[in-house]
Amino acid sequence: MIEVRRHASQHDAIGELPLLTESARVTAVTYQDDDRSEEIATAMERLLADVAIEGVDGAMLPGEWEAAAEAATAAGRADLARQVTALGRRYDRPYPMLAAVRFDTAVDVDFVAGQYVGLTYEGIPRAYSLSNSPAEDELEICVRRVPGGRLSPRICADLAVGDELTIRGPYGELVLGDHAPRDLAFVATGTGVAPLKSMIEYLFETGRDEYDGQRRDVWLFLGADWTDDLPYREYFRDLAATRENFHFVPCLVFESLLSEWEGETDFVQDALLAHVDPDRVTTGVAAPLERRLRREPRSGVDARIDPGNVDVYACGINAMVYSLLAETDAIGVPDQRVEVEGFG
């Protein structure tokens, strides 16, 4: 039985971690998402233009999406209601939602890729995973705004260069295992990628993407609703362009409503299955899983995963983590080669 480490309910414990500094200085705040209101308004108009449903017309404002979704549901158009709701929620959400924050602690920090720190800003302590390589002098985190939350909206909207933070830790046990000859598959939703990015940076910097002169394939399956919700997407795209053995597979549930997205739209764990070599699965899987295994990937990546020769690291929402565990178990990835952390 694989242990799923939980993110939740750890705020109180943050204050108990060893103090690193009370005066880490913020050196950069970079918003990673975009304000796409105009795109959404156009997409909503396009979506509703020729819909023959009473109470719905193409001139409806995105702000009226709830009425449009209700009318679509009442007319038995569940799929349309789902699309309208996705666009409407995106329209309503605040901007920015996703911020990368760098800070200088002015003291040496010895952390292992995958660990987190306790950060206190304006008296509010929260845990954030370190997203950069331990080889760098500064530390970096990636924060998603939780609407109504006490700290994350302030980090996303108010935190500025020069602000001071109290930092505790580092801490955490989701870290890379021993250097091994196997391939590596990282799986994340949203900011769950932060600790995995630190690991990926570290392993390429230190040449751990090779073992005994043999390259290991390194995969990242990263899931989000929209393309600009993918933390560090440019970094990962550049890495995939320069490292033949790094395969970046973004999985975007709703992006095709806004742009010509032709990549993966499945959940990350199902996209992983589609990239497994079915001939290497010897466990005998049930028909629905077999279908997911046999599905043609939409990522354009030709490499395939051998479940008997891969280490899996996952961090993200619990629904993804538990579903991934069921799938890796079914296709025969040994338990000791799967490390996961779940939240939400």
Ligand X SMILES: Cc1cc2nc3c(=O)[nH]c(=O)nc-3n(C[C@H](O)[C@H](O)[C@H](O)COP(=O)(O)OP(=O)(O)OC[C@H]3O[C@@H](n4cnc5c(N)ncnc54)[C@H](O)[C@@H]3O)c2cc1C
Q: What mask, x for binding ligand X by CB under 6 A, covers residues 86 to 125?
A: ------------------------------x---------
Are 199 and 313 within 8 A, CB to CB? Answer: yes
151 binds ligand X (CB under 6 A): yes
Choose between 62 and 125: whose C-beta lies nearer to ligand X: 125
**Residue 79: which residues within 8 A CB-CB, separation 6 or more?**
none
Choose between 84 and 100: whose C-beta lies nearer to ligand X: 100
Given its phi and psi angles, is residue 321 left (phi above 0), alpha (psi -120 to 50 degrees) or beta?
alpha
Given its phi and psi angles, is residue 234 left (phi above 0), alpha (psi -120 to 50 degrees) or beta?
alpha
Least distance to ligand X, CB of residue 237, Å: 20
Least distance to ligand X, CB of residue 15, Å: 13
163-222 positions binding ligand X, by CB under 6 A = 172, 191, 194
Residue from 21, 338, 334, 320 nearest 170 by CA? 21
Least distance to ligand X, CB of residue 86, Å: 17
Are 230 and 188 within 8 A, CB to CB? Answer: no
Please report where in the chains the tokens 């020729």 appear, as a residue: 50
In this structure, the strands spanning 4-6 and 124-129 are: unpaired
- How many CA atoms lie less than 13 Å away from 65 in the CB half-sphere? 21
- The tokens describing 210, both together, are 């090779």
Q: Measure the CA–CA gap between 11 and 129, rounded to whole angstroms.
A: 13
Least distance to ligand X, CB of residue 136, Å: 16
Choose between 216 and 254: whose C-beta lies nearer to ligand X: 254
Residue from 173, 152, 171, 143 nearest 19 by CA? 171
Omega cis (within 30) before 170: yes
Q: What mask, x for binding ligand X by CB under 6 A, covers residues 8 to 27?
A: --x-----------------
Choose between 263 and 344: whose C-beta lies nearer to ligand X: 344
Identify the residue among 36, 90, 126, 197 touching ligand X (CB under 6 A): 126
Identify the residue among 45, 75, 149, 303 touching ligand X (CB under 6 A): 149
| SS3 track for 173-232 | CCCCCCCCCCEEEEEEEHHHHHHHHHHHHHHHHCCCCEECCEECCEEEEEEECCHHHCCC
- The tokens describing 166, both together, are 């109290």
Choose between 44 and 97: whose C-beta lies nearer to ligand X: 97
Least distance to ligand X, CB of residue 147, Å: 8
143 binds ligand X (CB under 6 A): yes
Choose between 105 and 245: whose C-beta lies nearer to ligand X: 105
**Closest-CB residue for ligand X?**
149
Identify the residue among 142, 258, 305, 333 touching ligand X (CB under 6 A): 142
Choose between 85 and 191: whose C-beta lies nearer to ligand X: 191
Choose between 10 and 245: whose C-beta lies nearer to ligand X: 10
Choose between 153 and 332: whose C-beta lies nearer to ligand X: 153
- Stretch of residues binding ligand X (CB under 6 A), selected from 63-71, 127-135, 262-270, 327-335: 127-135
Residue 61 CA: distances (Å) to CA of 36, 85, 88 = 15, 13, 9
- The tokens describing 110, both together, are 């010895």
Least distance to ligand X, CB of residue 341, Å: 7
Identify the residue among 127, 199, 273, 293 touching ligand X (CB under 6 A): 127
332 binds ligand X (CB under 6 A): no
Q: Residues interacting with ligand X, by CB under 6 A?
A: 7, 10, 116, 126-129, 141-144, 146, 148-152, 172, 191, 194, 343-344
